[in-house]
Amino acid sequence: MKILLAEDETDLAEVIKAMLEHSSYTVDAVENGALAVEHARSNAYDLIILDIMMPVMTGLEAVKEIRAHGILTPVLFLSAKAEVDDRINGLDAGADDYLTKPFAMGELLARVRAMTRRRADYSPRVITLHEVSLDTEKAELSCKNTISLAAKEIRLMELFMNNPDLEFTTDDLLERFWHDEKADSDAVWMYISFLRNKLKSVGAPLAIIGEEGGSYCLRKASLI
Amino acid sequence: MLEYHNMENIYGNYEKTLHTIAIDLVDKINGYANTYMDSCGDKLFEHLSWRIKSPESMADKCAKDGLPLNIHSALKEVHDAIGLRIVCLFLDDIHKNIEQLRTLPGTRVVREKDFISSAKPNGYRSYHMILAVENEIPDVDGNTPGEYFAEIQLRTIAMDTWAALEHELKYKKDIHHPELISEELKRCAGELASCDVSLQTIRELIRGK
């Protein structure tokens, strides 16, 4: 699980990062809202933690920007202010939960666990990109045709369609979707091959590019 | 079909000719498949079947299409008096057969319909080709050599199984929950199509393509 943390208080940021990493999360830490938006746009995170009061761009502005870019990753606010208005504004801007400073590390970790566990609830049932739609409930990929997808194919396709033009390494995909120790890059390559041919078979104007064992990325076919 | 009952047979005395032409076409297809098998050891198709449309069905079809019930309609306007079905193991084999059929001596392609790339709304998938087949037997219009037509359907075993069930559904009356059955049948078509693509992909991976 990959988490983006935006917090301008260096000491606090370091503590949170260490705690999360200790709980086996991968953490990218930045110190303002503008950098948070930039990171959120170029990486696929499972959770974003934003401080409200930050220089350059506030957490409130950052979450609006992030949502405006169509990024649906759950956002948890951290705020020194306990005012009701702040919480309301934050949640209305597109955040999913908040925590008031000072907070207990145990509570932060519990909220992170709860929010990443509920990840599926945040995802829309049907994802559409360039006339290609993925119905995660019916397990179907459609464009000129409709074809069923296996469970792992759906999760992979969902990641690619939610993050077009983003590169995912073989190791990254292995870590996200293969939890048995026997799986290796061959398994990833097989599923990439399945998806490539299935995109072709529905006449999708999308293609997954990348070499065996390398990084993969979903592109509009006309851009390749 | 009142008009039809007054006729002996909509094919007149061409029914035997249709058999001769169908068998000739089947021989040609088996011929290229054998050559392919000798060259690389693979079967180009799992099986090949054929039929001559019954004179009754042909008369019904002509009537439905608003055509006069005569030999000309049956042999020249309707193109599936002769029907062949090529059932393949893998998706790629379908395309290999299409390539062979496009250059089959003594024939020319009249029309192709790709219901694999664009499945019918009910989920039906197959590749259809209409071939004009040349034969020394003069045709109903008096041309020598004569020109006859045959429809060839190409599909995988999975598509064939699906089509068999869909055919049964079409002719069965008093089905409970027909909408649910159609919807589930369509879902199955999507699953089978997915399996066909997966099997093709695995074969490519095994063969290191």
Q: Which of A147, A150, A194 lies closest to B193 in CB terms? A: A147
Percent of chain A with pLDDT strictly greater than 70 = 95
Angle at A149 between CA A147 and CA A152, to 5 degrees: 165
Given this model, what pLDDT does residue B85 score?
98
Segments of chain B assigned E as strands: 47-52, 82-88, 107-114, 127-135, 146-156
Q: Which of B117, B190, B201 sits opposite A148 (nearest CB)?
A: B190
pLDDT at A190 > cutoff 60:
yes
Angstroms from A36 CA to nearest CA on chain B = 39
Count residue pairs from A and B with Cβ separation < 8 A.
45
The mean pLDDT value of chain A amounts to 89
- Note whether B192 and B159 are within 8 A (CB): yes
Q: What is the pLDDT of residues B106-146, one digit of tens each?
A: 999 999 999 999 999 999 999 999 999 999 999 999 899 99
CA distance A122 to chain B (A): 26
- The confidence band for A87, taking pLDDT boundaries of 50, 70 and 90, is confident
Does B173 score more than 70 pLDDT?
Answer: yes
Q: What is the pLDDT of residues B47-88, one digit of tens each?
A: 999 999 999 999 999 999 999 999 999 999 999 999 999 999
ipTM of the prediction greater than 0.90, yes or no: no
pTM over 0.90: no
Please state, for a pLDDT cut of 70, what percent of chain B lies above it. 96
Q: How far is CA A97 from CA A16, A18, A19, A43, A90, in A?
A: 17, 21, 19, 21, 9
CB contact, 8 Å: A146 with chain B?
yes
How far B177 CA sits from the closest chain A CA (Å)? 20
In this structure, how many other beta carbons lie within 10 angstroms of the beta carbon of residue B207?
Answer: 7
Which of B187, B194, B200 lies closest to A149 in CB terms?
B194
pLDDT above 60 (res A121): no
Residues of chain B with Cβ-Cβ distance to A146 below 8 Å are: 119, 123, 186, 190
| Domains delineated in chain A | 2-122 (3.40.50.2300), 126-223 (1.10.10.10)
Average pLDDT, stretch A24-49? 93
The CA distance from A69 to A91, in Å, is 17
pLDDT at B1: 44
Interface test with B, best of A194, A196, A200, A212 (most B CBs within 10 A): A194
Q: Which of A145, A186, A191, A212 is the best substitution to test chain B (most B C-beta atoms within 10 A)?
A: A145
N- to C-terminal Cα separation, chain A: 30
Spatial CA neighbour of A96 closest among A79, A80, A73: A73
Angle at B56 between CA B122 and CA B79, to 5 degrees: 60
